[in-house]
Structure 1
């Protein structure tokens, strides 16, 4: 978790909000550090996290998480984190017989596109416990990243449908361009956008107003 980024977003783990859809988009830059930020952020916020990792291994996220002050291994052992490791799972899916339907079963289908099993995995992972009591604040879904599904042959409509169904289970849109929207005001007045430059360090990230980064002075 990067405190400076929390300051820009005016949030802390102590006052998180439920009901948000968070979409990370990067163009001509690597915004993957934001995934690590929000993963550690929601774990520190005591949320139940379902992480569908389609890009990197568990050990990769765990190493970065330790630098940010969280242990993914410990979070998984106590039931706070459910981690679907796409790279490892896909190997087993192709080379081993599956006794039960797999969340990534669409990879073995002739026409990839049915993400129902993946959605059901998310739904079962984040559904409320019997009795309604839970030690976690609220459920959070992280997917890294959705564009991989498109690369694997899943249609854009299927990906959008998957997002909408997951949004009905949990809701989290973040960009490096920060947009505040005030519903009670006209469109021209309710939107406020800020653009920042940033420098990634070993255990932190620094943000600068556009044009003020020491790297370009």
Structure 2
């Protein structure tokens, strides 16, 4: 885990174990891989099972990052502590024509018109987490770059509905603690659909972690800005969200967060 990320989350007043939907948005010049690896490592460290849907990178990509941090994510996958749904592999199965009957395939919408194009993908996620739901285990669902579905011809409203149904899979446990759903989007001002989808999902989130590149351009000591917005779901609707600002630097074995203007090149 990244200690500075853990500290920032703790300071925001939101603990992952409190449950709910956490939205992470990245841009073309930033990557959420570091934060996702943090949540994966946090899950396995605390013996929480994880369902991980990859849509942008391969599972091997995260295993390589995890090995640098001292976490054998592949071993956890072999032991079913982490259950991985590899979107790129499922997509290739359909495109390669290796599946004779695609009726129930998660990516059947590639070759046929479907009224609910993401129904099969949702059913696969539900099937994956159902044993944990039945055992009342706390679990995490992580969906990597859900906006990539826009590039496959899925409409914004269908992805929003899919996100809503996935959120309904997380439930209130015996101690009033909810499971967690972590969704990553690509928030690009030049992509109206992706930006709109990010805003829609944020309305259901307890926290939004927004990664942005520096407006001044690349820097050796600062790789970007991180804005953490915490929404008060228990308060009246007029309550304003609490916002925390950080800058970050990605290192080989760490994601370092610090207050704006306090990087090593400034101090």
TM-score of the superposed pair, with normalisation by structure 2: 0.70
Name the SS of the counterpart of 1:128 in structure 2: helix
Shift of 1:214: 2.7
Q: Where in structure 1 are there 5+ consecutive unaligned residues?
A: none
The 1:152–1:215 alpha-carbon spacing in structure 2 relative to 1, beyond 3 Å, is farther
Residue 191 (str. 1) matches residue 241 (str. 2): yes
The 1:195–1:51 alpha-carbon spacing in structure 2 relative to 1, beyond 3 Å, is same
Shift of 1:198: 0.6
> Is residue 53–residue 86 contact of structure 2 (8 Å, CA) maintained in 1?
yes
1:28-39 pair list within 5 angstroms: 29-32=29-32, 33-39=34-40
Shift of 1:163: 0.3
> What is the RMSD computed on CA atoms of the aligned residues?
2.6
The 1:19–1:74 alpha-carbon spacing in structure 2 relative to 1, beyond 3 Å, is same
Hey, what does 1:153 align to over in structure 2? Answer: 153
Runs of 4+ in 1 over 3 A off after TM superposition: 110-113, 180-188
1:1-217 pair list within 5 angstroms: 1-10=1-10, 16-27=16-27, 29-32=29-32, 33-95=34-96, 96-98=98-100, 101-110=104-113, 114-128=117-131, 132-133=134-135, 137-170=137-170, 171-172=180-181, 173-175=207-209, 176-182=226-232, 183-184=234-235, 187-188=238-239, 191-215=241-265
* Larger proportion of strand: 2
Q: Where in structure 2 are there 5+ consecutive unaligned residues?
A: 171-179, 182-206, 210-225
Name the SS of the counterpart of 1:25 in structure 2: strand
The 1:214–1:68 alpha-carbon spacing in structure 2 relative to 1, beyond 3 Å, is same
Shift of 1:84: 1.3
> Is residue 132–residue 138 contact of structure 2 (8 Å, CA) maintained in 1?
no
Hey, what does 2:216 align to over in structure 1? Answer: none
Distance across 2 between alignment mates of 1:185 and 1:120: 34
> Is residue 44–residue 70 contact of structure 1 (8 Å, CA) maintained in 2?
no
Distance across 1 between alignment mates of 2:64 and 2:51: 18
Distance across 1 between alignment mates of 2:230 and 2:89: 38
> Is residue 40–residue 70 contact of structure 1 (8 Å, CA) maintained in 2?
yes
Query: How many residue pairs align between the two structures?
Result: 210
Name the SS of the counterpart of 1:38 in structure 2: helix
Distance across 2 between alignment mates of 1:201 and 1:34: 13
* Larger proportion of helix: 1
Distance across 2 between alignment mates of 1:129 and 1:51: 14
> Is residue 112–residue 152 contact of structure 1 (8 Å, CA) maintained in 2?
no
